[in-house]
Amino acid sequence: MTVGIVMLVHTALDRAEQVARHWAANGCPVVIHIDKAVPTKARDAFVENLATVPDVVFTTRYRCEWGTWGIVAASQAGSELMLARFPNVRHVYLASGSCLPLRAVSELVSYLAARPHTDFIESATTADVPWTVGGLDHERFTLRFPFSWKRHRYLFDKAVAVQRRLHMKRRLPAGVVPHMGSQWWCLTRQTLSAILQDPDRAEYDRFFKRVWIPDESYFQTLSRKYARRIESRSLTLSKFDFQGKPHIFYDDHLQLLRRSDCFVARKIWPHADRLYEAFLIDAGTALKRTEPNPGKIDRVFAKAVERRTRGRSGLYMQSRFPNEDWENGVTAAPYSVFQGFSDLFDNFEPWLGKATGVRVHGHLFAPDHVHYSDDQSTINGALGSSAAVRDYDSKAFLTNLIWNTRGERQCFQYGPNDNQDICWHIAKDPNAQLSMITGAWAVQLFKSNQDFADIRRKAAMLQKIESEQIKIFRSPYTKARVRIWTMAEFIEAPIEPLQSILEQIGQTRSHRVSEVPKMVDLRGFGQFLQNLKNQGMHPYLMGDFPIEQDVAMPQKPPRKPYLVQ
Amino acid sequence: MGLIRSYRLRLQRKRWRIRAFRKRRELKQVVDQTRLIRPDDILLYCTQRNEKVRLRYFLDYYRKMGVGHFFFVDNGSADGSLEYLSEQPDVSVWTTRASYRRSRFGADWLNWLQMKHAHGHWTLTVDPDEFLVYPFCDTRPLRALTDWLDASSIKSFSAMLLDMYPKGRLDDQPYQSGQNPIEIASWFDSGNYSLRRNSKYANLWIQGGPRMRVFFKDAPEKAPALNKIPLVKWDRRYVYVSSTHMLLPRGLNQVYDEWGGEKASGVLLHAKFLDTFGSKAKEELERGQHYAGSVEYKAYAASLQDDPQLWCKWSEQYINWRQLEILGLMSKGNWA
C-alpha cells in the first residue's frame, strides 16, 4: 500500500519536475495536472522530461484560475486517474507544484499506513467557525458570483450587495452541510471514490460550480458525508496571511521547517535553492515517528500578520503613519507629566529622580530650548534640543522621545509657559499620566524681580492658558490619567499626593517617602495674590489662599507609609 | 478626492511625460546594451556626475543583490567615470552636458529612459551614494522581494533615506575606490524624524536626521526630504514627480498604512558624508544646480567650515537590517 500524489502545476515547472521525480523515486505514483494556461512549449518540455520516469502520468487539462471550479475539476480528474491506474494506492495526497516534502517519503507512507481509515482534511462548518480571512463564509454557498473577484472587484462587490439587499438565496442540495478548509487534503481511497462515484455527483458538481472558491469547500463538504474518521487538519503546512494568500518559504526558513516535522510545506519560493537541496535528498536514516508540530512556524507568521494589521504602538515611520485615533496607542510607553511641581518645590526634579530611579527631565517644551535631564543637548535616538525643530512637529518630538527610550520611564515638567500645541496629544494618550497643581506658575512671578504691571500682564496670560489646559484635560475625549489639585489644596496636604505619584510610577525599588522635596518659601504669597486682585486681575486657579497664611512647611518627615512588598 | 483634482493630477502626469519626451534630445547614447535585458530582469536607473571613486562598489553591491541591468545618465563627468561605465558588461550609458536643474534634477532624463525601457520591469532608481537595505536582504535576493510584492499586488516599495556619517571629522578617513563606504560612514540618527502627509500627492514627507539636527536646527522647514520610493514595478504611464520622493499616479505613493498596521519597507543608506563631501559641496555651490537654490549646500558650507562633526553621543552604529527594523526605521510588514 502506498500514497498517490495528485499534483496541480501551473508555474515553476522545473521545481515541479524535481519534486515529482522525488515522489516517484520513493515509490509514490504521481498524477500531474498542468494548468491550461501554461504555454504549449513549456508544457511539452516538461512532459518530455518526465516521460522516462515510471509511475508519473498526466491528466486532462483544465484552466485553474484562482477561486474557480477549474481547480476542483482538475483534482477530480487527477484523483479518478490515480484510483483507476494505481490500485495499490490507499491514500491520495493533493499537492501543488510549489509544495515541498519536508520529511522522508517513507515516513509519510508509514504514518498513513498506521492510519488506514483516516482522512486528513481541514473541514470546519461555516456556521460555527469564522474560517475565512475577512471574506464571505456562509454566503459563498448561498449567493451567486457571476463576476471574477480578481478582475472585476467592483462588480463582484456590487453583485454581492444587491443579492444581500434582495435576500436572494440559492438552495443547497439535500444533505449538504457547508464545510470549508484548506484546499490541500489527503483522503483515503474509500472516501475519495465514494465522493467521485456518488450517484448525485452531477447535482453536487452543478451546485459547487457556482460556489465561490469551491476548492476550499467541495471535498471539505462532501467528505463529511462518507468519511469514517476525519482528522480535521491538513498534512500540508500552509500558512495564510491577512489577505488570504499563502506565506512563502525561503532559504532562511530551513531550520524552522526542519523543526516543524510537517510532511509537506507550501508554498516554496522557486529560487529557494537551499530548501530544495536540503529536503529533496533521500534520507535513508531511521524513521522519525514524531507528529507534525508547526507551532513555531505558526507563531512567526502570526506575528507577521499582527505586525501588518496592528503594528508597533507609538511608532511613526515611513510605512506606518496612522490616522488620528487609529494609532493603537499614541505613544510607546507610559510616562508622567508634572505641572506646577517644580515651581512649588525647589528640588523637585532631583528628588523625584532619586526617589524613583526614573529619568526626570525639566521643561521639555520650554520656549528657549529643550531641557533634558542633566542638561544633555541630545538624548536617545539623537533627538536634539533645538526648540525650532521640536516646535516644527511637537507630536513627533514627544512620540520620538517615548519611542527612543522604550523600557525606561520618562517624566517631564510642563506648564503654561511652554509650547501648548502638544496639550491635546497628551490628553488623548492613555500612556500619559498628568499631575497638575493649578496656579503654581504664580510662584515664579511672585519671586521674580519685575515691574508689577508686567507681572500682572503675565499672570493674566498664564492664567488664561492654564484654564484652557484644564478644559482640555477635563474634556470627555481625554484618555490620560489626569489629577488636578489647586495650589491651596496641595499645600495643605502635600505628602499624600506625592506618595501616590511615587506609587503610580511604581518602579521596583521600595520607596518610603523618607525625604520630601523642599517647598519654596511662600511667606507673603497671599498678599501678592491680593495685590493682583486689587489691580483687577483675579487669580482664581490657586484656590482659596488666605492673605496672611502662615504656611506650614512640612519640615519633619511624615509618618512612614505602610508598603506591602 | 474630487474628480477635478484627480483630472488635474492626470494632466500634470501627462505634462511630465511630455517634458521627459522632449528632454530625450539632451541625452546622447554612449553604450547601448539594452538588447541583453531579459523579460524578468530588475533594472537600476541612476544619474551621476564625477562619482568614479564610488562606482565600483556601487555596481558590485547591486549586482550581488540581483540587479540585471544598469541605466546611467552621465551629467558631464570629467573624472573618467563615463569611460569606466562604458566598459561594464551590464550597463547602458547616456551622456549629457545639459542643465541638471532644468531636467528637474535628473528626473526628466530618467523618466524618459524608464518610459522607453522599464515597462513591466521592477525598477530601482537610486543615486550612486544610496544603498538599498530591505527586510531579509542578508539572506534573500532582491528577486525574492519583488516576487513577494508581485504576489501581494504591491506596485511600489518605500525606502527612506538614512544619512550615514563617520565618527570624527568627515575628512579623517579617505574613501578608497571599491571600499564599502558604510565602513567609514557607519553612524546614523535613529529616532529624530518627523513625518507629515502631503495631501496633494498622498505621500509622506519625512524630515530629520543629522542634517536637520546640525545644519537646519534653526530652520527645520528647510531640511531636505528623506522619503523615497525607489523600487517600482514600472509602467510606461508612471512618472517620478520630484526626484524619487513621489510618483504619479498618486496611488503609488501610498506606501504607508493608515490604520495602525505596518507595511513592508526598506532603507536607503545614504553615504554622502565621506571625505569627498567638502569638495563636492564647494563644486555644487558654484554650479548652483541643486534643489531650492542649493540651500542645502549653502547651509553645509557654512556649518562645515568651523566644525564638520555630525557624530554625537547618541548616534547609532550600523549593524544590519534587523537593527534598523528594531529601531523602527523600516519594517518587515507581513513578509516573514
Please, what is the average pLDDT of chain A?
Answer: 87
Q: Which of A309, A324, A346 is the last residue of a domain?
A: A309
382-401 in A: which are within 8 Å (CB) of B? 382-384, 386, 388-389, 392-393, 396-397, 400
What residues pair up with A33 in beta bridges, in sequence order? A8
What's the average model confidence in pLDDT over A44-48?
Answer: 93
Chains A, B: CB contacts within 8 A come to 176
pLDDT at A80 over 60: yes
* Residues A191 and A272 reside in one and the same domain: yes
| Whether the Cβ atoms of residue A417 and residue A387 lie closer than 8 Å to each other | no
Q: What is the CATH number of the domain that holds A48?
A: 3.90.550
CB-neighbour burial class of residue A559 (10 A; exposed 0-12, middle 13-18, buried 19+)? exposed
**Alpha-carbon span A521 to A265, nearest angstrom:** 75
**What is the rounded radius of gyration, in angstroms, for the C-alpha atoms of chain B?**
19
Chain B residue closest in CA terms to A253? B336
* Residues A292 and A340 reside in one and the same domain: no
- The total number of structural domains in chain A stands at 2
533-562 in A: which are within 8 Å (CB) of B? none
**Alpha-carbon span A310 to B228, nearest angstrom:** 24
Band of residue A160 on the pLDDT scale cut at 50, 70, 90: confident
* Residues A400 and A529 reside in one and the same domain: yes
| Whether the Cβ atoms of residue A90 and residue A258 lie closer than 8 Å to each other | no
Residue A464 lies in a domain: yes
Q: What is the layout of strands, in order, in the sheet containing B156-157?
A: B28-31, B91-96, B69-75, B43-48, B122-125, B231-233, B156-157
* Residues A281 and A397 reside in one and the same domain: no
Chain B residue closest in CA terms to A404? B191
* Residues A202 and A124 reside in one and the same domain: yes
Chain B within 8 Å of A508 (Cβ-Cβ)?
no
The SS3 of residue A392 is: helix
Residue A300 lies in a domain: yes
Q: Which of A274, A309, A344 is the last residue of a domain?
A: A309
Q: What is the pLDDT of residue A243?
A: 76
pLDDT at B125 over 90: yes
Q: What is the pLDDT of residue A129?
A: 65
* Residues A445 and A508 reside in one and the same domain: yes
Least confident of A479-483, A488-492, B93-97: A488-492
Q: Domain of A216?
A: 2-129+176-309
Residue A47 lies in a domain: yes
Chain B residue closest in CA terms to A268? B144
Q: What is the CATH number of the domain that holds A345?
A: 3.40.50
What's the average model confidence in pLDDT over A189-195?
Answer: 93
404-433 in A: which are within 8 Å (CB) of B? 404
Contact: B255, A269; criterion CB under 8 Å = no
Buried b (16+ CB within 10 A) or exposed e, B142-155: bbbbbbbbeebebb
Residue A547 lies in a domain: no
The set of cell numbers assigned to A343 is: 515651581
* pLDDT tens digits along A171-191: 888 888 888 888 899 999 999
Residue A151 lies in a domain: no
* Residues A185 and A286 reside in one and the same domain: yes
Residues 6+ apart with CB under 8 A from A444: A343
Band of residue B87 on the pLDDT scale cut at 50, 70, 90: very high
What's the average model confidence in pLDDT over A138-146?
Answer: 83
* Residues A346 and A305 reside in one and the same domain: no
Q: What is the pLDDT of residue B121?
A: 95
* Residues A228 and A374 reside in one and the same domain: no
Residue A304 lies in a domain: yes
* pLDDT tens digits along B262-291: 999 999 999 998 888 877 777 777 777 766
* pLDDT tens digits along A386-426: 999 999 999 999 999 999 999 899 999 999 999 999 999 99
**Alpha-carbon span B95 to B86, nearest angstrom:** 11
Residue A552 lies in a domain: no
* pLDDT tens digits along B133-177: 999 999 999 999 999 999 999 999 999 999 999 998 888 889 999
* pLDDT tens digits along A245-297: 888 999 999 998 988 888 999 889 999 999 999 998 866 555 566 788 888 88
Residue A508 lies in a domain: yes
Chain B within 8 Å of A212 (Cβ-Cβ)?
no
- Phi first, then psi, for residue B233 (nearest 5°) are -75, 100
Instruction: Please list every residue in chain A whose beta carbon sits closer than 8 Å to the beta carbon of residue B224.
Output: none
Band of residue B29 on the pLDDT scale cut at 50, 70, 90: very high
Chain B residue closest in CA terms to A254? B139
Amino acid at A476: P
Higher pLDDT, A522 or B188: B188
Q: What is the ipTM of this complex?
A: 0.92
What's the average model confidence in pLDDT over B228-254?
Answer: 93
* pLDDT tens digits along A309-334: 999 999 999 999 999 888 888 999 99
* Residues A504 and A455 reside in one and the same domain: yes
**Alpha-carbon span A106 to B196, nearest angstrom:** 58
Chain B within 8 Å of A44 (Cβ-Cβ)?
no
Residue boundaries of the structural domains of chain B: 18-128, 129-336
Q: What is the pLDDT of residue B202?
A: 92
